């Protein structure tokens, strides 16, 4: 029999602490949609997505109603388009992006991920076409997200691609300059990209994944913060234990929803991504949660240590709650999407360099960071290279989603709206790294890649 305390604890998590299921993401393999013309390939892609995901949104809404649990997003991830489109003979893949966009709209999902390429060791012809298509593809579509894997611990870092992505990010910003460079908010580069990540912008369905699969991303920084408020002043062992327990409960909700969605849609359940994903809403912030550890403001000394502990405790609680944990799993630290991060960046407490340090111990990377529009492409590549090195050499996922906002500089801010939030333009070290980036080639895989 449930106790009143347990029932009320659950009720308060949803009503006051912003607990929600962030996303049910259906992964759909498009391997069988390759064709000898782009038109035929796009037709197959559209038909397959509609066939698999036609009922996704309705099913999500029904589950949400049954448990009175908010399920914020229903989304789709697909096989990287550079693989699917390779045989089509197209010299530009924008029409593939438009097809994904149309399918997403007709299914009622708000994002579709997979306008992607995996180039950690080098380019195929198709990878090159896809990357060159990104700025236009993101400018003419609403719902398509693009991701490129530039590095891995096994392969090292493709520095040619790091160099090229600096230019592509600049171009994507210019093409959407009238909308505060929103194109860049839908584009992420990775080291060690997970193949089952349900979160955007980096979701795609890796080549090792099944035909169709349900992955669920959970959220809940507010729940963890609330739990910590009850143990103020206690030692850090107590804090770790408290985070674990909260993470366990949150993950169990995700597992319940994932299994139910899988059963109703007759699609296998893949993984739970147990990430603490903030939103710009007050009370749903990872930065405020870190401050609850005893920091005056996020970004000050101690922030990295607090984040390391938080990330680890979330994983420990979550893995007890579900046997199939995957994706990014940890704490997200996007700047524009987190009310406390925005405040810390605006006040000068949180610097880009500190964020880089934080990415060594959390689940993603430099995320949703707005920088001056006149930042050179080579500097953007330098930022990416550093982040790729952190991921590659520390055997973890890292990513960069950075927005050089045309016409704006330090002191300005940019408003993306909705869950993408707003961001103050952050200061970037202006000393040049152009000659380093200009070298190109590959950074060899680290010695610990040789594990066989």
Partner 1 sequence: MTESKNTAVITVLGKDRVGIIAGISGLLAEYNININDISQTIMDDVFTMIMMVDLKDVSIENSDITDRLHKFGDDNGLSVTIQHTDLFNAMHRI
Q: Do 67 and 11 contact (CB within 8 A), yes or no?
A: no
Considering only 51, 65, 179, 232, the residue that binds partner 1 (CB under 8 A) is: 65
Q: Which stretch binds partner 1 (CB under 8 A): 8-16, 213-221, 407-415, 419-427?
A: 8-16
Told to check if 253 binds partner 1 by CB under 8 A, we report: yes
Considering only 39, 40, 51, 66, the residue that binds partner 1 (CB under 8 A) is: 66
Distance in Å, CB of 278 to partner 1, minimum: 21
Three state DSSP letters for the chain = CCCHHHHHHHHHHHHCCCCCEEEEEEEECCHHHCCCCHHHHHHHHHHHHHHHHCCHHHHHHHHHHHHCCCEEEEEEEECCHHHHCHHHCCCCCHHHHHHHHHHHHHHCCCEEEEEEEECCCCCCHHHHHHHHHHHHHHHHCCCEEEEEEEEECCCEEEHHHHHHHHHHHHHHHHHCHHHCCHHHHCEEEEECCCCCCCCCCCCCCCCCCCCEEEEEEECCHHHHHHHHHCCCCCCHHHHHHHHHHHHHHHHHHHHHHHHHHHHHHCCCEEEEECCECCCCCCCCCHHHHHHHCCCCCCCCCCHHHHHHHHHHHHHHHHHHHCCCECCCCCECCCCCCCHHHHHHHHHCCCCHHHHHHHHCCCCCCEEEEEEECCCCHHHHHHHHHHHHHHHHHCCCCEEEEEEEECCCCECEEEECCHHHCEEECCCCCCCCCHHHHHHCCEECCCHHHCCC
Told to check if 8 binds partner 1 by CB under 8 A, we report: yes
Considering only 39, 40, 50, 68, the residue that binds partner 1 (CB under 8 A) is: 68
Number of residues that bind partner 1 (CB under 8 A): 21
Q: Which stretch binds partner 1 (CB under 8 A): 60-68, 90-98, 164-172, 340-348?
A: 60-68
Binding mask 145-164 vs partner 1 (x if CB under 8 A, - otherwise)?
A: --------------------
Told to check if 316 binds partner 1 by CB under 8 A, we report: no
Whichever of 16 and 32 has its CB closer to partner 1, that residue is 16
Considering only 42, 63, 272, 380, the residue that binds partner 1 (CB under 8 A) is: 63
Whichever of 4 and 435 has its CB closer to partner 1, that residue is 4
Considering only 21, 28, 33, 69, the residue that binds partner 1 (CB under 8 A) is: 69
Binding mask 104-143 vs partner 1 (x if CB under 8 A, - otherwise)?
A: ----------------------------------------
Considering only 180, 255, 339, 367, the residue that binds partner 1 (CB under 8 A) is: 255
Q: Which stretch binds partner 1 (CB under 8 A): 65-73, 136-144, 299-307, 420-428?
A: 65-73
Distance in Å, CB of 12 to partner 1, minimum: 10
Distance in Å, CB of 20 to partner 1, minimum: 13
Distance, in Å, from the CA atom of 154 to the CA atom of 29, rounded to the nearest integer, reads 24
Distance in Å, CB of 52 to partner 1, minimum: 22
Q: What residues from 11 to 50 belong to the interface with partner 1 (CB under 8 A)?
A: 11, 15
Whichever of 252 and 427 has its CB closer to partner 1, that residue is 252
**Which residues are near partner 1 by CB under 8 A?**
1-2, 4, 6-8, 10-11, 15, 62-63, 65-69, 249, 252-253, 255-256
């Amino acid at each position: 029999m449930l106790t009143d305390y347990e029932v009320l604890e659950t009720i308060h998590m949803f009503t006051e602490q912003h607990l929600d299921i962030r996303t049910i993401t259906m992964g759909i393999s498009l391997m069988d949609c390759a064709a000898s013309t782009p038109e035929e390939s796009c037709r197959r892609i559209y038909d397959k997505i509609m066939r698999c995901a036609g009922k996704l949104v309705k099913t999500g809404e029904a589950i949400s109603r049954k448990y009175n649990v908010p399920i914020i997003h229903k989304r789709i991830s697909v096989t990287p388009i550079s693989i699917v489109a390779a045989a089509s003979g197209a010299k530009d893949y924008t029409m593939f992006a438009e097809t994904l966009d149309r399918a997403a709209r007709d299914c009622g999902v708000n994002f579709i991920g997979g306008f992607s390429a995996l180039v950690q060791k080098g380019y195929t012809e198709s990878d090159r076409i896809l990357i060159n298509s990104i700025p236009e593809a993101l400018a003419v579509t609403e719902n398509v997200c693009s991701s490129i894997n530039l590095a891995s611990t096994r392969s090292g870092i493709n520095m040619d691609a790091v160099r090229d992505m600096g230019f592509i990010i600049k171009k994507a910003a210019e093409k959407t300059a009238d909308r505060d460079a929103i194109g860049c908010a839908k584009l992420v580069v990775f080291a060690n990209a997970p193949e089952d990540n349900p979160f955007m912008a980096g979701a795609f369905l890796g080549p090792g994944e099944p035909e169709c699969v349900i992955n669920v991303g959970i959220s809940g920084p507010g729940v963890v913060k609330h739990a910590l408020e009850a143990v103020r002043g206690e030692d850090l062992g107590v804090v770790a234990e408290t985070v674990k327990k909260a993470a366990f409960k949150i993950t169990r909700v995700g597992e319940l929803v994932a299994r139910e969605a899988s059963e109703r849609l007759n699609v296998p359940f893949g993984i739970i991504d147990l990430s603490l994903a903030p939103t710009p809403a007050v009370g749903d912030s990872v930065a405020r949660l870190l401050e609850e550890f005893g920091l005056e403001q996020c970004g000050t000394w101690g922030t990295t240590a607090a984040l390391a502990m938080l990330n680890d405790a979330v994983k420990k609680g979550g893995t007890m709650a579900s046997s199939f944990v995957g994706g990014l799993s940890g704490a997200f630290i996007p700047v524009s999407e987190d009310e406390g991060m925005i405040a810390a960046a605006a006040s000068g407490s949180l610097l880009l360099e500190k964020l880089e340090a934080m990415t060594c111990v959390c689940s993603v990377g430099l995320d949703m960071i707005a920088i001056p529009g006149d930042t050179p492409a080579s500097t953007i590549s330098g930022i990416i290279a550093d982040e790729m090195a952190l991921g590659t050499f520390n055997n973890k996922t890292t990513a960069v989603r950075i927005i050089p906002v045309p016409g704006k500089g330090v002191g300005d801010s940019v408003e993306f709206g909705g869950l993408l939030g707003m961001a103050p333009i952050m200061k970037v070290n202006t000393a040049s790294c152009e000659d380093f980036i200009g070298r190109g080639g590959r950074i060899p895989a680290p010695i610990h890649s040789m594990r066989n």
